[in-house]
Amino acid sequence: MKNLYPGSVSAILCALRQLLLPYSSSVPASRHRWPLRLAVALVLAVTSTPLLAQNTGVIRGFVADSVSGQRVPGLSVRLQNPVGAAFAGTATDALGNFRLGGLAAGTYTVQAAGLGYGARMQTVTLAAGETKAISFSLPTISLNLSEVTVAQPRDVNQSLAAISHIDQVLRLVNSAQDLLRLVPGLFIAQHAGGGKAEQIFLRGFDADHGTDFAVSIDGLPVNMVSHAHGQGYADFHFVIPETVDQLRVYKGPYTARFGDFATAGAGEFTTKTSLDRSQVKLELGQFDTRRALVMLDLLGHNQHHLFSKKPESAYVAAEYNFTNSYFDQKQHFKRFNGLAKYTGQLTDRTSLTLLGSHFTSSWDASGQIPERGVREGLISRYGSIDPTEGGSTDRTNASVVLTTGLPHDAVLRQQAYYSKYDFSLYSNFTFFLQDPVNGDGIQQLDDRHLFGYTATYDRDTQLGSRNLHSTLGVGTRNDFSNLALRHTVRRNVLDTVTVGKLYERNINAYLDETLNLTEDLTVNASVRADVFTFDFRGQLYDTAAAQLTPLRGRTTKARVSPKLNLYYQLTPNTQLFARSGFGFHSNDARGVIRGTSGDNVLPRAIGYEVGSTFKPLPSLVVNTALWALHLQDELVYIGDAGEVESTGPTRRYGVDVSARYQLTKVLFADLDLNYNRGRQVEAPADANYIPLAPSFTSTGGLTYKQPSGFNASLRYRYIDDRPANDDGSITARGYFLLDAVVRYTRARFEVGATAENLLNVQWNQAQFATETRLPNEPLGTSVDELHFTPGTPFYLKLNASVFF
């Protein structure tokens, strides 16, 4: 008998155990240390358990896509008659391979299936101790909710897997914003002419531009640490929506793979490995809107080869966008995106993915406007106090992923990535409050190099009659950036507020164990360790001294985050889950260097959740979750001052309900309901609201979907009124909107139309309570009131595509 892990991993576990013992938090340990201890105990117990050798048989093989020939990870492979078997099923690994072990001599029926694929079966007869290899080639199929299962996916913490798959098949996506809206319960707001990252709302969080929601695409992190405009800034506009293949949604801090910013949740997007066909698309719309898209399959289905004689795919995609938008002042928004991707199976045990992309954008913006400006007739609803706002940004990415099959059914996945990022934003939040002569315009600059490396070691093993899936992950991320905040007038620099060089590094490791205690009960226990280094060398303007003074320093801080999750398959159509975990979001390096207290460098989040995914009817899928989350410190970045403001600990609890129903063969309905109550813990009872955090949101709609011919959808978005400040004296107004999409598709072409805000409702998109002074108001006076960016009026776009 052999131990499951080599000595090096045991050493890591011992080190993690020592790190956990001195754990401290503002939350009393007596209440919240139990999941930490239990998670670590389970991890240590499982990893020290010896393998039990048995004279049993094995069925192994792979599952591939019938069209592309590419092997597909994450598909279910199960025994239909598992009498005497150690476990009844598994899922394909990162190379599309599977292994069913612990099988007594006999005849078995093996089924391979997955979301979006038709099931296939094979009969296999095993002698005692025999190993047999088989393979499956699965066709893609039209969506039929009666065939969707709620059995746990390979990644058990993806409890929204069935819901997310249904949405990705049905939703008609037209923009990067639509991609983010695929996350159930997530709302976004744009307030800078379409060029800036969206403001994100999820589970009672105003997550700013990504402070509490982690976003990645093909393993590339989207969130930016210590960004010029705000911590966790996640600009997703470099993604071409038509290239996205999958979205994996994780709500709460329950998954060890995610570290920084994954408090409210995380979204993992992946682009397509291959194109079904090439296409050219043109789009025209109101407000001088134009868009062109080209996607080209470089190898074709006749399988020209580049590096290997095995299945390969390669494609390029590019898009160009322009619009003047609906504001009184033309926005001159321009954006170009380009992507090239290669995926190939070099050998039976090795695959390679190469990706490169480039994005550039520039725009003018009308900014946030005060209600009194519109009320008093100074400007129209679509006007501007400072018409010189706007900016530009670009990002270039390169990524290499090598996936290798190792002995003992292990898989090693390695990724190295690099991003070059530039950002320049002109804003004016307070108009003439600070400088009554020149105004309060600012410029935020970020010139960044970002590179990183991640590696995961995955292995499926038997522990007697139990199936164990183990993942050991390590990674590092390094950000080098030149940051600046300057006072401007009409985009001309007057003076500097802060300037300096940032170096921020994160080194992380995690161990994740998923153990099938019985055929129905699964335990997922994990622990993650993160070490951050914050280094900033620059200057800060000292108002009292009226000059720039040194701002420099270096700090290292570590955080350990255990997780414990339970999943129970009550019936074939009902899965129950209970989850708990620690997470965190990091502070801005400039705030850390300026003397932020130790607890506020990496504020901890503690989350709990119970829920179920079930099918009360054959064509109805429902996901429910009752959750709570405690955050050690609610950090708010004050952009015009270059400072981070602490508002203290917060507590949230709520309920999420998602339902997807197939009314007929081609007609589908969906509904998301999200309610929460959040409060600042240490604030007075009459001033403890969490500003801008929504308490109730809902989305839903009807979709008519068929493989060809007519397709359409009618959808609504609703968000309630909510406090815009601590005491609720200022209200951010809610809205109800209707959007529609119509398409007609044939084998060689498609034409369609999209309409946003069908009812032409006047609504506020981004909203803030801000103290400002207008140029016509007396010196020394100011008004604290709601400022907003108006939402899109009725907005019609037409599109046409040609496929070849």
Q: Which residue has the tokens 């932020």?
A: 596
Check residue 46 and give its pLDDT: 44
Percent of the chain with pLDDT over 70: 90
Average pLDDT over residues 535-559: 92
- As a whole number of angstroms, the distance between CA 315 and CA 343 comes to 9
Of 513, 683, 662, the closest CA to residue 43 belongs to 513
| Cα→Cα distances 654→207, 336, 611, 612, 688, Å | 16, 40, 12, 15, 17
Q: What is the dihedral of CA 588, 590, 592, 594, to 10 degrees?
A: -150
In this structure, how many other beta carbons lie within 10 angstroms of the beta carbon of residue 555? 17
Q: Which residue has the higher pLDDT, 42 or 366?
A: 366
DSSP secondary structure string for all residues of 613-631? EEEEETTEEEEEEEEEEEE
Please, which residues bridge with residue 217 across strands? Answer: 220, 269
AA identity, residue 376: E
3-state DSSP of 318-387:
EEEEEECCCCCCCCCEEEEEEEEEEEEEEECCEEEEEEEEEEEEEEEECCCEEHHHHHCCCCCCCCCCCC
- Distance separating alpha carbons of residues 298 and 272, to the nearest angstrom: 14
Which one, of 711, 637, 522, lies nearest residue 42 by Cα? 522
What is the average per-residue pLDDT within 593-612? 86
What was the pLDDT predicted at 1? 36
In what order do the strands lie in the sheet containing 187-189? 187-189, 199-202, 205-206
Burial 272-286 (b: 16+ CB within 10 A, else e): bbbbeebbebebebb
Helix (H, G, I), strand (E, B) or coil at 49: coil
Query: pLDDT band for position 6 (50/70/90)?
Result: very low
CB atoms under 10 Å from CB of 88, counted, come to 15
85's CB contacts (< 8 A; 6+ apart) are: 79, 100, 102, 103, 104, 108
Tokens representing 274 are 């291959």
Q: Could you give the CA distance from residue 59 to residue 409 in angstroms, rounded to a whole number?
A: 12
What's the pLDDT tens digit per position in 566-581? 999 999 899 999 999 9
* Structure token digits, residue 789: 């960016």
355: which strand partners?
341, 399
- Does 789 have pLDDT greater than 90? yes
pLDDT bucket at 54, cuts 50 / 70 / 90: low
Total Cβ atoms within 10 A of residue 95: 21
670-694 pLDDT, tens digit each: 999 999 999 999 999 999 999 999 9
| Inter-axis angle of helices 29-47 and 7-20, nearest 10 | 170
Residue 24 in this model has a pLDDT that exceeds 70:
no
| DSSP code per residue over 702-729 | EEE--SSEEEEEEEEEEE--EESSTTSS
Nearest to 351 by CA among 74, 93, 77: 93
Q: Could you tell me which of 361, 400, 357, 393 has the C-alpha nearest to residue 239?
A: 357
> H/E element holding 241?
none
Q: Bigger pLDDT: 306 or 189?
A: 189
What's the pLDDT score for residue 22?
A: 38
Give the number of residues written for the chain.
Answer: 804
Identify the pLDDT of residue 600.
Answer: 84
| Per-residue model confidence (pLDDT) at position 182 | 93
Sequence letter at residue 268? E
Q: CA 732 from chain center: how many Å?
A: 26
Neighbours of 324 (CB within 10 A): 16
pLDDT over 50 at 29, yes or no: no
Q: In angstroms, rounded to a whole number, what is the distance separating the alpha carbons of residues 344 and 342?
A: 7
15 vs 228 pLDDT, higher one: 228
pLDDT digits (tens, 9 = 90+) for 713-771: 999 999 999 999 999 999 999 999 999 999 999 999 999 999 999 999 999 999 999 99
Question: Helix or strand or coil: residue 745?
Answer: strand
For tokens 């139309």, the residue is: 753
Alpha-helix runs per DSSP H in 189-286: none
Choice among 51-65, 80-94, 573-587 with the minimum mean pLDDT: 80-94
All structural domains of the chain, each given as residue ranges with its CATH number in brackets, are: 57-141 (2.60.40.1120), 161-803 (2.40.170.20)
Q: Of all residues in the chain, what percent are helix, strand and coil, respectively (each to 5)?
A: 10, 55, 35
Residue 260 has a pLDDT of 97
Q: How confident is the model at residue 172 (pLDDT cuts 50, 70, 90)?
A: confident
Structure tokens at 435: 């400088």
- Per-residue pLDDT of 354-391, as tens digits, reads 999 999 999 999 999 999 999 999 999 999 999 999 99
The overall average pLDDT reported for the chain is: 90
What is the CB neighbour count within 10 angstroms for residue 664? 8
How do 131-138 and 57-65 pair as beta strands? parallel
Annotate 735-768 with b (16+ C-beta within 10 A) or e (fewer): bebbbbbbbebeeeebebbbbbbbeeeebbbbbb
Nearest one of 115, 101, 70, 40 to 469, comparing CA atoms: 101
Q: What is the mean pLDDT of residues 334-350?
A: 95
Task: Kindly state the average pLDDT of the residues 484-512.
Answer: 97
Distance CA 275, CA 245 (A): 10
> How large is the C-alpha radius of gyration of the chain?
27
Answer yes or no: is pLDDT of 37 > 60: no
pLDDT bucket at 52, cuts 50 / 70 / 90:
very low
Which of 76-85, 199-208, 464-473 shows the lowest mean pLDDT across its residues?
76-85
Judged against a pLDDT cut of 50, whether residue 510 lies above it is answered with yes
Q: Report the b/e string of 579-590 with b at 16+ CB within 10 A.
A: bbbbbbbbbbbb
Q: Which residues contact 778 (CB under 8 A, 6 or more apart)?
A: none
Pull the structure tokens for residue 688. Answer: 């403890």
Residue 87's pLDDT band (cuts 50, 70, 90): low
How far CA 259 is from CA of 265, 332, 508, 565, in Å, comes to 10, 37, 8, 17
Residue 654's pLDDT is 98
- The tokens for 213 are 């929601």
Q: How confident is the model over 433-470, as pLDDT tens digits?
A: 999 999 999 999 999 999 999 999 999 888 877 889 99
pLDDT above 90 for 613: yes
What was the pLDDT predicted at 725?
Answer: 96
The DSSP letter of residue 689 is B
